[in-house]
Amino acid sequence: MKKLSMLMLIGIMFLVGCQSSDQTASYINIEATEKFLNQEKEESHYPDIEDEDIFDFSYIKVAPEAEKDHKVDDIIKMYATTWSIDELNDPIVIDIENSEIYAEPSVDHLGVQFETERKKVDDIDDVVALFDTYDVLDWQHYYSNVKDHHSYEDGASWSLVVQYSDGTVDKFRGEGTSFKEIIPDNYYDFMDALGVYVVDHIG
């Protein structure tokens, strides 16, 4: 009888352990988050735009996503945003093709709003060089440290969108509960260097 009770206790402990393991796995796995993002993408209602409009910064989020690899020299536009519960940073918006930096830019659900001052620069190649130095185009397109997207409400996020000369875009992003766990290794180095470039030119 004691042996049977002991076997039952071991069985119960095993089941509880499995359940706990499953809960942990479901928390750190990003499969559900990716499913949510795909659903979010399908449910997004964007206006119909003409082919030439994909080069309009205000519609950059609607531009087709790149299906082939590009070189940094192909980049014509870029913007970067970061957000956390403790800190909200201004977006960095640079029109590489026209050698312009946006001062106090605003990014909405379609792209970059144009009602802002822009500063012409004569060393825009330095921005392109940063993409090369920090291997930005080799970053993963999505980083996360959780599966449950509801956890992001009080967490952190970042995004980087680059547009190429053929009109297509690459979108890199991270979402999660801890900023340092949702970024590529050289993210801070790239963003710090980019921030210094912008401050040196527009203050």
pLDDT at 114: 67
Q: Chain centroid to CA 7: how far?
A: 50
Question: Does position 30 have pLDDT exceeding 50, yes or no?
Answer: yes
**How far is Cα 101 from Cα 29, in angstroms, rounded to an integer?**
38
pLDDT higher than threshold 50 for residue 25:
no
Q: Model confidence over 137-183: pLDDT tens digits? A: 999 999 988 765 554 556 788 999 999 999 999 999 998 888 889 99
- Say what the pLDDT of residue 10 is: 43
Helix boundaries (H) for 29-174: 31-43, 125-133
Cα–Cα distances in angstroms (integers) from residue 108 to residues 72, 95, 168, in the given order: 25, 17, 19
For the segment 93-112, the average pLDDT, to the nearest whole number, is 86
Residue 163 confidence (pLDDT): 96
Closest CA to 54 of 69, 65, 41, 44: 65
At residue 171, the pLDDT reads: 94
Please state, rounded to an integer, the average pLDDT across all residues of the chain.
77
User: Who contacts 63 (Cβ-Cβ below 8 Å, separation ≥6)?
Assistant: 54, 55, 163, 167, 168, 169
Over residues 111-128, the mean pLDDT reads 87
Bridge-based pairing of strands 169-176 and 142-144 is parallel
CA dist., res. 43 & res. 39, Å (int): 6
Higher pLDDT, 97 or 203: 97
- pLDDT tens digit sequence for 6-15: 444 444 444 4
